[in-house]
Amino acid sequence: MEHKAGCLICGRDLIYGEEARDLPCAVCGEIMSTAVACEAGHFVCDRCHGLAALDLIERFCIATELEDPLAIACILMRYPAVRMHGPEHHFLVPASLIAAYCNHRGEPGRKGELLRQARTRAGVVPGGACGTHGTCGAAVGTGIFVSLITRSTPLKKQEWSLANLVTAESLMTIARHGGPRCCKRDSWLAIRTAIAFLRERFGVNLPAEEAVRCEFSDINRECLRGECPFHAGYPTG
């Protein structure tokens, strides 16, 4: 198995009740009758369990009210459709940032259109670009995000600069931690960079988890282990 068992939202054990009850799906929000939920009360409907990665990312980001992009990314990464590595992370990064940003600003209605555009743009970033093109799709994802919220075009001045600058800063952060690639590590680093960029350049302070701890090292053959800042063995002192 590629991912941990249990609840796809929080990882806790699933509880199978004797009687069904009505619960909202944690992804799409639809109320359904179910006898299965996790210890924390999360329920994910069968339809959302089977969604392809990109559909699932878009659907969840439209429905969520979370303002923490790292928390959003971590939840999405637990879904089996989101593999250990893969180009779906190129969309996951800007999608998590768009959802958190719009929710934080009280503009959830903007998410749908921004997510559709981000999905289209992320779709042209090839898988494995980190090793063949000298750029990581997770870093490009932060540029996609900033270009969308600033309405940048190739002919803009400040907006063009900001979109390229956040990508450059994300790439520098990712490159400093070295290879081989890990789509989870690079996505978290890119999102963390974008959070700092929003604070410094836009005065937008998104909440963020202080310490993301990787849940995927056991299934990543190329894991850096104690050299990765998200690994349990990374020195924190």
| Domain-wise residue ranges, the chain | 1-50, 52-227
Q: Return per-residue pLDDT of the chain as tens, 237 residues.
A: 333 446 878 878 888 888 889 999 998 999 999 988 989 999 988 778 667 899 999 999 999 999 999 999 999 999 888 988 889 999 999 999 999 999 999 999 999 999 999 999 999 998 888 888 899 999 999 999 999 999 999 999 999 999 999 999 999 999 999 889 899 999 999 999 999 999 999 999 999 876 799 999 988 888 999 899 999 877 665
Specify the DSSP class assigned to residue 81: T
- Strand segments (E) across 12-58: 14-24, 31-38
| Residues 137, 143, 146: CA angle, nearest 5 degrees | 145
* Contact predicate 89/96, CB 8 Å: no
Q: How far is CA 78 from CA 4, 81, 111, in A?
A: 7, 9, 22
Residues near 107 by Cβ (< 8 Å), separated by ≥ 6?
A: none
Residues 158/163/165/166 CA torsion (nearest 10 deg): 140
Instruction: Report pLDDT for 104.
Output: 97
Question: How far apart, in whole angstroms, are the C-alpha atoms of residue 79 and residue 11?
Answer: 10
C-alpha closest to that of 79 among 127, 18, 142, 26: 26
Instruction: Report pLDDT for 50.
Output: 62
* Contact predicate 137/87, CB 8 Å: yes
Instruction: Report pLDDT for 171.
Output: 97
